[in-house]
Structure 1
């Protein structure tokens, strides 16, 4: 199995420096990861350093809280795409979902998908803050808004990916969107268990050690 092709090689911490991004890109080339996932300010740097490789650049938007205006998220998306991002991972407005403003949540995802066009949009629903019913609803709203993926977590909440939440998401999207597991995926066993459960992508900063573990 080419586990490397499931991995979005990720660095999103506030302290990430330009050197960290260069190292991330170097590792992504070396291990042929599917993409690097970075904060949007680093898209131009990542794009430049991945030229000539087939590693994609993925940018997060509205990260990590999701509590910005829709207009701000759309602008950030458009700028990231202009700078060379090929995939966008957006955070939903969790407060709006919990306020039962479902139409607003769906419209925001749709507005961002409209900006993304035929490129890939992943919707981070931050499962650690949601009940199973809310996870179902958020996943269904993402599908209605034509998102390509639903994603478990930012990695900055109180918890990361959990198998029981993957099952809820899988049932909710019913094959109409793919699933990305992220948050706390640090070893081969965990990554493989999610892939076996049907996730199409893994977001992790431990991609190198996961691939090395597989080679052993």
Structure 2
């Protein structure tokens, strides 16, 4: 698999424009990126732009802070799926996690996973490792497994730091082999991306995707 095929080509800045989203889609189709990840308000636009290309549209739910109510996240997910998204990156309620409300988080993940799977869509759960202790990362990872998510994602890219090799190694160590990992946030070089893949990341989320690939993008380890 090429590195490009592992990358979610991402543009989530609050000042992004329609023109930039269209260019993002063109780049994703040209380079064979795994998906485009766009703000919810641009899902329908991206879906239209990518029709027939085979590139999925991803968007974010409860982003970037995660503490919207479960009902709001569910509705946000419904709208995104209706608009054409087939991958959803949802931020957990970090406040609830730190308050000991694991059951609430697991229920939220399970509800969104059920909704996604009815629509043949993927759910990636962002746990924001920068804000968690190692014990909390392990707890959050377990809740993602119990909630039947498809991926655990390290970061929003809006916290104090993004993904680290140590984060991915820890997740790969505690997660079952069937649970995939997405590393995101602050991945600006090809070397950094390849190190995260080597540590166990199945996907890379980056707004600097073009700098991560080469014109002869070599396959990465399966």
Matched, 1:8 2:13: no
Of 145, 153, 156, the match for 1:154: 156
Hey, what's the Cα distance between the residues in 1 that align with 2:173 and 2:96? 23
Hey, what's the Cα distance between the residues in 1 that align with 2:176 and 2:87? 22
User: Shift of the alpha carbon at 1:143?
Assistant: 0.4
1:188-209: CA deviation from partner (whole Å, max 9, x where unpaired): 1001111111211000011111
Hey, what's the Cα distance between the residues in 1 that align with 2:109 and 2:142? 12
Q: Which runs of 5+ in 2 are unaligned?
A: none
Of 170, 173, 184, the match for 1:171: 173
Hey, what's the Cα distance between the residues in 2 that align with 1:146 and 1:30? 33
Contact 2:169 2:200 in 1 (8 A): no
* Residue number in structure 2 paired with 1:208: 210
User: Shift of the alpha carbon at 1:95?
Assistant: 0.1
User: Shift of the alpha carbon at 1:213?
Assistant: 7.2
Where in structure 1 do 4 or more consecutive aligned residues deviate above 2 Å?
Answer: 212-216
TM-score (norm 2): 0.94
Contact 1:188 1:213 in 2 (8 A): no
* Residue number in structure 2 paired with 1:36: 36
* Residue number in structure 1 paired with 2:80: 80
Hey, what's the Cα distance between the residues in 1 that align with 2:39 and 2:174? 28
User: Shift of the alpha carbon at 1:165?
Assistant: 1.2
Task: Give the RMSD, CA atoms, in angstroms.
Answer: 1.3
User: Shift of the alpha carbon at 1:109?
Assistant: 0.6
RCO comparison, higher one (Cα < 8 Å, 6+): 2
Secondary structure of 2:213's counterpart equals: helix
* Residue number in structure 1 paired with 2:92: 92
1:88-125: CA deviation from partner (whole Å, max 9, x where unpaired): 10000000000010000100111111111142110000
